[in-house]
Structure 1
Amino acid sequence: MTHRRIAVRLLAGVVAAVAAAGLAACGTAEEALPDNQVVAEPPRPIGMQDPAIVPTGPAASSGSCDPRASLRPSGSLPRPRQMPAGTAMATIVQRGRLIVGVDQNNYQFGFRDPLTGQLTGFDVDIAREIARGLFGDPGRIQFRAISSADRITAVQEGTVDLVVRTMTMNCERWQQVSFSTEYFTAGQRVLVNRGSGVRRIEDLRDRKVCAAAGSTSIRNIAAKGTRPVSVVNWTDCLVLLQQNQVVAVSTDDSILVGLAAQDPNTEVVGPRFSDEPYGVAISRESPELVRFVNGVLARIRSDGTWTQLYRRWLTSLGPAPAPPVARYRD
């Protein structure tokens, strides 16, 4: 292994280490709760019969639903701290903070800044805008670091108010949680070592490919005939690729670009082979919160905030596109 490759591997390790250490740091309103540390598990080849690792059911709309369509905002947003009585928003304001499930290992979307120890990224800033709508203060927020596999459970059990974690909306998930309107559009591609000869997902049949447990990505690569290897966090996939334990990592291009930025010896290849619309996951028991979040998303689309956040975090994906257009089912 070259000195350059060792250095890059150490960089990925430092990001993961800072993320874990940050959870035990002195508490502020935005720190993840101490009982919610994410401990990396060893990678393992997976059994297709395990729905916690490879979810079952259709990954996208089969005509029975439009996974991008959410609930229409209820008129103008209420003034911060003046939420309608009896709503989920009023409960959150009374508590004094919004609790949000996020990633802490996804560079550009949700990660801990190694210099400040603070959670930051595109998803994190989307969550802060929701807190701003509730409190008039984007800092009135408490983050819980969760894995891909725990996103739905965290919402269903009420350990978080919502999840903003590169979460693809599909018809299957709509049966378990509600979603906001689409706030980002991604598509699945492949990350490999430079010079590997791999150019597209079809080159990886019967070869080991890494993805996160519980993600749509691992189901998609299994359907393509690869040998899926699961991990908890995407940075673990990068380390496996660097160690030659897998030949590729496959997930949304939005995530892969962040991994490639941590290791210039890797590259993202091939066309998109899936459609991944991201939404904010919210309890099915709180439709008023869904409508409120959609009102916040409508505001940040129209006032330029969404474009500012894209330019701050995601220019490696290309020039800022127009924000995803909101679709409503009512």
Structure 2
Amino acid sequence: MRHPVDARRPAIYLVVGVVLALGAALLGGPAATGAPAGPAPAPQAAAPAQPAPACTEVRESLRPRGPLPAPGAMPAGSTMAAIAQRGRLIAGVDQGKFLTGYRNSLTGTLEGSDIDVVHTIAKAIFGDPQRVQFVVLNIADRATALERDQVDVVVNNFTVTCERQRTVEFSAPYMPASQRLLVPLGSGIREVEDLGGRTVCTSLGSTTEVVLRDLGLQVETLPGIPDCVLEMQRGRVAAVSSDDVILAGLAAQDPNTRVVGRALDTARYAVGMRPDEPDLVRFVNGVLEAARADGSLAASNRFWYTGRLDPVPPPPPPVYRD
């Protein structure tokens, strides 16, 4: 059915047109000059993102400022005071690396040289080394856990690299390490050259992977070194490569393996923290300095690695950038 035409509509349309034209004139639009509106300009392509500058140098850490505050008396407004208020230090660690960070099957507790470092930091904040919530992390998740503010610190064989320093602030190193090979007894493998095209396994996202690929080796990566050991025991890979302190723990667990080869690379383990919490970085460096001075850091290394790693690595002296 046709609807009757409303005679008022042309007048309404005219009024609306006048209002729109006046608005365009006031805003300087196309109607301001009476020129017809042309086609909209084509959107300009976004400029390609500039790649991040290549890393060329590892930065040293931040110097401690003054004496350490007494446990339970963290400076007001500091990151440490916020941790103290929460009642526990949240630390990202591993639970599968014998001697460095592992879960004792008899007690269910986490133990190892890295775990000792976490307890030392907690004791400095609370006066109680047990005030810790441990968060178990895969190698590839360490930096992400800090970026997402899931942990306060990461103490998990965390090697200081220039690339990682884009998103992580590290303490001064507390332990040196050398990258080597773990192989089955009787394999005939003594150096990487003896692999003869066979596969070597290491953890995904580790600096070890980069070194192995740069050597032209056939590499398989898995979430953790224990996964690689299982692959080696099944005969699917010929060797496992990681830091000697990690491999020493694996060899201690499996007497049918041994650590061999020259150092393919050297590393420095440090505590990882968020870049926007420099006060915590300086505090942790003060804690590590005290542990070097009283001998407790070296004593921890001797406890875990004597008879399993020769020589037992001493704590490196700190160097700071400020």
How many angstroms apart in 1 are the aligned matches of 2:65 and 2:194?
48
For residues 76-134 of structure 1, give each alpha carbon's deviation from its aligned partner in whole angstroms, at most 9, with x where no partner exists: 00011111111111110000000000000000000000110101110001000000000
User: Could you say what the CA RMSD is over the residues aligned between the two structures, in angstroms?
Assistant: 1.6
Name stretches of at least 5 consecutive residues in structure 2 with no aligned partner: 1-51
**Normalised by the size of structure 1, how large is the TM-score?**
0.79
For residues 233-261 of structure 1, give each alpha carbon's deviation from its aligned partner in whole angstroms, at most 9, with x where no partner exists: 21111111111000000011111111111
1:224 shift after superposition = 1.3
1:182-221 mapped onto 2 (5 Å cutoff): 182-204=173-195, 206-221=197-212
2:224 counterpart of 1:233: yes
**Normalised by the size of structure 2, how large is the TM-score?**
0.81
Structure with larger RCO (C-alpha < 8 A, sep 6+): 1
Answer whether contact 2:58 2:160 (CA < 8 A) is retained.
no
1:318 shift after superposition = 2.7
1:320 shift after superposition = 4.2
How many angstroms apart in 2 are the aligned matches of 1:240 and 1:220?
20
Q: 2:309: which partner in 1? A: 317
Q: 2:120: which partner in 1? A: 129
Q: 1:329: which partner in 2? A: 321
CA change 1:319–1:188 in 2 (3 A) is closer
Please state whether the residue corresponding to 1:100 is helix, strand or coil.
Answer: strand
Structure whose CA Rg is larger:
2
Identical counterparts, % of pairs: 47
For residues 179-202 of structure 1, give each alpha carbon's deviation from its aligned partner in whole angstroms, at most 9, with x where no partner exists: 000100001001111111111123
How many angstroms apart in 1 are the aligned matches of 2:216 and 2:53?
17
Answer whether contact 2:98 2:250 (CA < 8 A) is retained.
yes
Name stretches of at least 5 consecutive residues in structure 1 with no aligned partner: 1-55
How many angstroms apart in 2 are the aligned matches of 1:227 and 1:319?
30
User: Residue 257 of structure 2: which of 266, 272, 276 is its match?
Assistant: 266
Answer whether contact 2:248 2:309 (CA < 8 A) is retained.
yes
Q: 2:10: which partner in 1? A: none
Answer whether contact 1:205 1:224 (CA < 8 A) is retained.
no
Q: 1:76: which partner in 2? A: 67
CA change 1:199–1:320 in 2 (3 A) is closer
For residues 143-195 of structure 1, give each alpha carbon's deviation from its aligned partner in whole angstroms, at most 9, with x where no partner exists: 00000000000011110001000011011111110000010000100111111
Q: How many residues matched?
A: 270
User: Residue 96 of structure 2: which of 75, 89, 105 is its match?
Assistant: 105
For residues 44-94 of structure 1, give each alpha carbon's deviation from its aligned partner in whole angstroms, at most 9, with x where no partner exists: xxxxxxxxxxxx998xxx7x4344x21000110001111111111111000
Please state whether the residue corresponding to 1:79 is helix, strand or coil.
Answer: coil
